[in-house]
Amino acid sequence: MTERNSAPLVVRFGSLGDMVLLTGLLNTLHRRFGRPCDLLSGTTWPMALLDGHPDLGQVYRIASRSRPYWTDPEQWRLVRWLRNRPPGPVFVCDDLRRNKLARLLRRAGIDPANCVYFSEAELSARRHWFDRLADMAQRVPQRFADAGLPTVAAPDHPLLPVSGAARADLARWRAENRLDGPLVLIQPGNKRTQRRGGLNRTDHHKWWPPGRWQQVIAAVLERLPDARVILCGAPSEQPLLLQIGALANDPRVRACGLELPLPRLMALCEVAHSLIAVDSGPAHIAAALGCPSVVLFGAAPPWLWQPRATKGVVVTVVGGEPEGLNRIDAIPAQTVISAWRALPGRSRT
């Protein structure tokens, strides 16, 4: 196999939302090089997100790329895997620990002329991550400068396929639980919520008090009395969802932290009326799947991280820049309610 026909290797360590944003680059590289991309990544995102993705080939994951090499058998196995791959283009999409990743690639015998990295200027520019990745996908490693690679238009939003099995599973689940009518999704948690410790720690800039979620839910049900409000989250977030559900005290509200494996959540985002969420991976999934959304931002800048949706789908950001808020608990409930009421909710359910 020649280098020209080898699968691109994409290196990206990140969480759920990072991997959603990566799908545009995977698609562009697939079309430029003619082969689905292999991926080297971490273990903080669930594999079900990209299961069966047409732009993805092999996935190799390690828990940490920061440990000293001589102490970490995972990195030794990674280097062996890299050495056994046919040589090809490598796109290092990380902004952190790039020197460590470069050393691992060199240790595996990968020529730096095969690799593309972000420059400091690219990382310091005020650009959304999706656009940064779209630009990287158009670059050519030095070794491939004369390969005659085509320039292809990058997609304008992340690409997340939902399987027929996931859609059928969602239909069964809705029928079993009588979840007819419009579905409004509420995502109050994020990866910090899943850590041990108090939910309203002083360093938790994405914490919004349950009482405010209750106010939002009441406003949703007042506007859409035939709706069902689905409280979304991981199993570890179920206590928070139950707390919010108890405050809502309404049979139309369901805490589903134990009922939403990722494929079902993706199918749910594909048909939901709307989503109200903190800045989180599920907010990126919902936007990518065309769900009108209101997203609460704290310290993370929306210009860098706002969920990216296809043309015509509204994603309204509340908080963050330019409001100058660095914690979402500074956002009043009425601000979120007003933003949701202004959404053109999706009618297909």
Tell me 320's DSSP state: S
pLDDT of res. 147: 77
Give the mean pLDDT of the chain: 92
CA-CA distance, 4 to 149, in Å (whole number)? 9
pLDDT per residue as tens digits for the range 130-169 = 999 999 999 999 988 887 888 899 999 999 999 999 999 9
Would you place residue 46 in the very low, low, confident or very high pLDDT band (cuts 50, 70, 90)? very high
Report, as an integer, the average pLDDT of 98-119.
94
User: Which residues, in sequence order, are CB contacts of 321 under 8 Å at separation 6+?
Assistant: 301, 302, 303
User: Which residues, in sequence order, are CB contacts of 257 under 8 Å at separation 6+?
Assistant: 231, 232, 233, 234, 235, 236, 237, 238, 240, 241
CA-CA distance, 227 to 224, in Å (whole number)? 5
Using alpha carbons, select from 297, 254, 262 the residue that is nearest to residue 277: 297
pLDDT per residue as tens digits for the range 161-174 = 999 999 999 999 99
Look at residue 263 and tell me whether its pLDDT is greater than 80.
Answer: yes
The overall pTM is greater than 0.85: yes
**Residue 264 neighbours by CB distance under 10 Å:** 20
User: Which residues, in sequence order, are CB contacts of 325 under 8 Å at separation 6+?
Assistant: 297, 298, 319, 331
pLDDT of res. 1: 39
Would you place residue 97 in the very low, low, confident or very high pLDDT band (cuts 50, 70, 90)? confident
Would you place residue 49 in the very low, low, confident or very high pLDDT band (cuts 50, 70, 90)? very high
pLDDT of res. 3: 52
> What domains are defined for the chain?
3-144 (3.40.50.2000), 164-341 (3.40.50.2000)
